[in-house]
Amino acid sequence: MRTRILLFILLTLALYSCNKDTEVLIPSAGPNSFMKETYPLNSASKSLMEGVYQVGSGSDFFGDHVILKWNRTSLSIACSNGKYFVMEVGHLDSVIFVQGYWRNGYTDDTGLASLVIAKEEGGTTILTGNGNQKIILRGAFGLESGLPDQPLVLNYLRPFSDKVKKSNFYILAHRSGGRTSDRLPASENSIEMINYTEKFGSTGIEVDVRLSVDGIPFIYHDPDINIRLTKKGPLAGPIENYTWAQLSTFVRLIHGEKIPTLEDALTFVVDSTLLRFVYLDMKGNPGTMEKVIPIQKRILERAKNVGRDLIVVVGIPSSTVLNDLMNYPDYQTIPSLCELTVDDVHQVNSMVWAPRWTLGTQNDLVQQMHNEGRLAVCWTIDPISWIQDYIENGLFDGLLTNFPYVVAYYHYIQE
């Protein structure tokens, strides 16, 4: 009997130890990848590659169509079912090599992908701009860290429609580009995540703003220091009890990054990214607003000086924050994003109205905002079918999401 009971206890402990969250390792071709032997494509060539592709082999896995869109550093391929590719591209002679990984954003599925555009299947056309070759990407994808062994063929179908090209739609990524819980290569609300998120097709970000006890705004979501977001260290409890120096010295985000100050994060957005929209979600205590607005002004000035068309708005998620803003002189001139009612939008003259997505597309109110010269975006929409519905049937100027590649797919595939 003793043995049986001990077995019961041991089994219990063993099963408890299974609760550790898994990490998703991004597969890589490794440091000896031949991609470093290739030459980068110029802007004109990149532009020729973009568009809607029909999936030949591999459609069971990636859907019937994908979109190819270049970002600042790499080529993004977005699928209809939540899968996406992050690919490096280079050429040798007239052959274009496309190599990277795919990932299902809603699960932990991932694998390597390797594609080639042959000289006679679009390589020459893309590189020279001459000829009328049909672009075909041929290659394979793998599962987990296995070598790519499942055939994948992408056939160029059409360029992005004029509607898409003319639109100023914002693909807004949550938590500076992606949540820690989605097991991405960088921690949420970090400069590293801001640097990465364009690979998902994001054109804007939302960041969570808090205030240290000595008045430094920084970006971090939860009210406390916890092991969900940070490496386990000696500091714990409410994060806004600590000075910025303490947080900077003794707290590291889950992938080892420092918590960034708001000013550092926004400076990085201006100097090192092509992001066009930053939504400052004010999580902090009353008094945060007066520290954030001067930073917002400095960053907008910095962006203007380098010719960047960047929107940085302070978020108004509650009446407390609304009152906080209204205590600021000339508050109606401050670019803000109001999550409350249309009346509240008018009261503080918000640049953007941002209702919760579960309230519906509300096309009449969105149209009213447009008529008043305001933007409307909604937060935080994640289910694929709803993203599709809001893009096809809604009038929003942007969607905030945890899955920007899904928004990218349904936006760029519009005819």
Partner 1 sequence: MIKKYIILILIIFFGVFSGYSQKVDSLIVKRNHYSFTIGGGWTHYINSLEIGKKDARINFAGISLKFFWEPEHRLSLGLETGFYQIYKVKINDYMNVTGQAGMSAIPLLLTVRMRIVDHFHLSVGAGLAMMFNKVSGMGQNINSTILSLSNYQFSGSYIYPLHKHWLVGGEFKVLDFGKADDWIYSVQAICTIRL
Partner 2 sequence: MRKVLFILLFVFSLSGFVFSQNQCIQDTFDIANHSMRFPHQYKTWGFQIGAGLLMVKPPMDLLENAIQAPLVNIHMTFGLPWKFSLEGDVTTLLVSNQFSLGPRLGFNWKNFSFNVGYDIAFVYGQLRQFGFDNNTKVWIHYPNISLGYKLKKMAFTLKAEVVTLASVSQRCGENEVVHTNNFFNGFTGALYLEQRLWKDHVFIIGFKDSYEKFYWPTWMLFTTFNRYYHIPELSFTWIL
The site for partner 2 (CB under 8 A) is made up of 1, 4-5, 8, 11-12, 15-16, 18-19, 21, 106-108, 181, 221-222, 226-228, 356-360, 380, 382-383, 386, 402
- In a 3-state reduction of DSSP, which class is residue 212? coil
Distance CA 334, CA 282 (A): 14
Cβ-based burial of 258 (10 A; exposed 0-12, middle 13-18, buried ≥19): middle
Q: Does 226 bind partner 1 (CB under 8 A)?
A: yes
Min dist CB 283 to partner 1, Å, is 18
146 vs 144: CA distance, rounded Å: 6
Q: Report what 306 binds from partner 2, partner 1, none; CB cut-off 5-8 Å by kind.
A: none
**Beta carbon nearer to partner 1, 235 or 395:** 235
Three-state secondary structure along 243-262? CHHHHHHHCEECCCCECCEH
Residue with smaller CB distance to partner 1, 231 or 304: 231
Least Å distance, CB 289 to partner 1, is 24
Size of the site for partner 1 (CB under 8 A): 29
Cβ 215 to partner 1 shortest distance, Å: 14
Report the residue number, 15 or 306, with the smaller CB distance to partner 2: 15
Residue 13 in the binding site for partner 1 (CB under 8 A): yes
The answer to whether 140 touches 149, Cβ cutoff 8 Å, is: yes
**Which one among 232, 297, 304, 370 touches partner 1, defined by CB under 8 A?**
232
Which one, 13 or 306, has the nearer CB to partner 1? 13
Shortest spacing between CB 231 and partner 2, in angstroms: 13
| Contact with partner 1 (CB under 8 A) among 235, 244, 328, 335 | 235
Residue 11: exposure state from Cβ atoms within 10 A (0-12, 13-18, ≥19):
exposed
Q: Which is nearer to partner 1, 203 or 230 (by Cβ)? A: 230
Cα Dmax for the chain: 82
The DSSP-derived string for 338-373 is E-S-HHHHHHHT-SEE--BGGG---HHHHHHHHHTT
Residue 84, CA distances (Å) to 11, 80, 289 in order: 39, 9, 37
Contact 101, 130 (CB under 8 A): no
Distance separating alpha carbons of residues 229 and 222, to the nearest angstrom: 8
Q: Which partner, partner 1, partner 2, none, binds residue 34 by CB below 5 to 8 Å per kind?
A: none
Question: CB-wise, 247 or 387, nearer to partner 2?
Answer: 387
Binding flag, residue 329, partner 1 (CB under 8 A)? no
Work out which of 42, 151, 250, 358 binds partner 1, going by CB under 8 A. 250
Least distance CB 372 / partner 2 (angstroms): 23
The residue written with tokens 């991609």 in the block is 35
CA distance 176 to 178: 6
* Residue 242 touching partner 1 (CB under 8 A): yes
Applying CB under 8 A, which residues contact partner 1?
1-2, 5-6, 9, 12-13, 16, 213, 224, 226-227, 231-238, 241-243, 245-246, 249-252
